[in-house]
Amino acid sequence: MDYNHLVTAAKSAMEHAYAKYSKFKVGAALLTKSGKVYTGCNIENSSYGATICAERVAFSKAISEGEQEIEAIAVVSSSGDYTYPCGICRQFMSEWGTDLKLIFENGKDTKVYTLKELLPEAFTKF
């Protein structure tokens, strides 16, 4: 499957990043199994720990709109390098399954992983 449109949407979302403290802008675009796209950017806070990553913003938008079946998420950043999700985001996203595909782009090439690969032996309560 071609995820170029997701990478493009993630780059547009990155323009809205509120990265006042780190200056590290991140954009994400999530694809539902029904074909809808939800985007997110990182939103920082002067109380640093209250910062929300782009991935969790995209997931929160999708889930709060009633989505439950998530197929893929593309992540880009202003760093010029691949940007992989933090541990909190990996755990957060695993709630909706570890078959999720993650697409990373460094401005030139793309890499695709499953969440299972990035979060082996994920904690689940049930």
Query: Coil, strand, or helix at residue 115?
Result: helix
DSSP 8-state secondary structure symbol assigned to residue 119: S
Give the separation between CA 108 and CA 48, rounded to whole angstroms: 31
Quick check: 78 binds ligand THU (CB under 6 A)? Answer: no
Applying CB under 6 A, among 6, 14, 30, 54 the residue interacting with ligand THU is: 54
The answer to whether 18 and 9 have CB atoms below 8 angstroms apart is no
Applying CB under 6 A, among 75, 93, 103, 119 the residue interacting with ligand THU is: 75
Applying CB under 6 A, among 7, 29, 53, 100 the residue interacting with ligand THU is: 53
Is 55 an annotated catalytic residue?
yes
Stretch that binds ligand THU, among 7-15, 20-28, 63-71, 112-120 (CB under 6 A): 20-28
The answer to whether 77 and 8 have CB atoms below 8 angstroms apart is no
Scan for tokens 């074909």, then name that residue.
35
Quick check: 45 binds ligand THU (CB under 6 A)? Answer: no
31/78 with CB nearer ligand THU: 78
Scan for tokens 């999720």, then name that residue.
100
Just list the catalytic residues: 55
